[in-house]
Amino acid sequence: MRNLDATDARLLLALSDNPRATGLELAARLGLSRNTVQARLTALESQPALHAFDTRVHPEALGYPLTAFITTQVNQHQLARVGDALAAVPEVIEVHGLTGATDLLVRVVARDPDDLYRLAELVLGIPGVERTSIALSMREMVRYRVAPLLNRRILGE
């Protein structure tokens, strides 16, 4: 994946402000030709430099108000199998491989405490999972964002 330049950053910030903007609107706002905007958008989508649209949907709107993080220790010989099993669980919305004593950080969403308990048991029951620990998210303090990084790119830092 190539590094994004200041023009890419400006384009992405403009899309962040108005995700439904047309290529013509973006071109006018940024002082670029419509062809330049379209070519850059195509390049960004093909890299892929953009996340999927579903990352914009809040789980709360789907009836999943609870978010929790399950740290997971895994038999290293079964790591890929565990990852596949986690990907098959709809309430698992993110999994990160970690360094250190914990192997995976699993972000899950749940309808209520009983549903969260069910998910914790499900994760612990996956063959290859040796140990888990769960932490309930009380409040999201900083939502996933990249705008500050895009602004930094525009400024040339």
Mean pLDDT of the region 143-150: 91
Residue 119: closest CA among 48, 81, 67:
67
Mean pLDDT of the region 18-39: 94
Q: Which is it for strands 92-97 and 129-136: parallel, antiparallel or unpaired?
A: unpaired
Q: Which two tokens stand for residue 63?
A: 């009836």
pLDDT at 116 over 80: yes
Which CATH fold topology does 6-54 show? Arc Repressor Mutant, subunit A (1.10.10)
In 3-state terms, what secondary structure has residue 93? strand
Is this model's pTM higher than 0.85 or not? Answer: no
Specify the CATH class of 59-136 in words.
alpha beta
pLDDT tens digits, residue range 68-88?
999 999 999 999 999 999 999
CATH 1.10.10.10 residue ranges of the chain are: 6-54
CB 120 within 8 A of CB 134: yes
The better pLDDT of the pair 52, 114 is held by: 114
Task: Please report which confidence band the pLDDT of residue 138 belongs to, taking 50, 70 and 90 as the band edges.
Answer: very high
Distance of alpha carbon 143 from alpha carbon 157, whole angstroms: 23
Q: Which two tokens stand for residue 128?
A: 């290859």
Q: Which two tokens stand for residue 115?
A: 């549903």
Q: Which residue's structure tokens are 């500050």?
A: 148
CATH 3.30.70.920 residue ranges of the chain are: 59-136
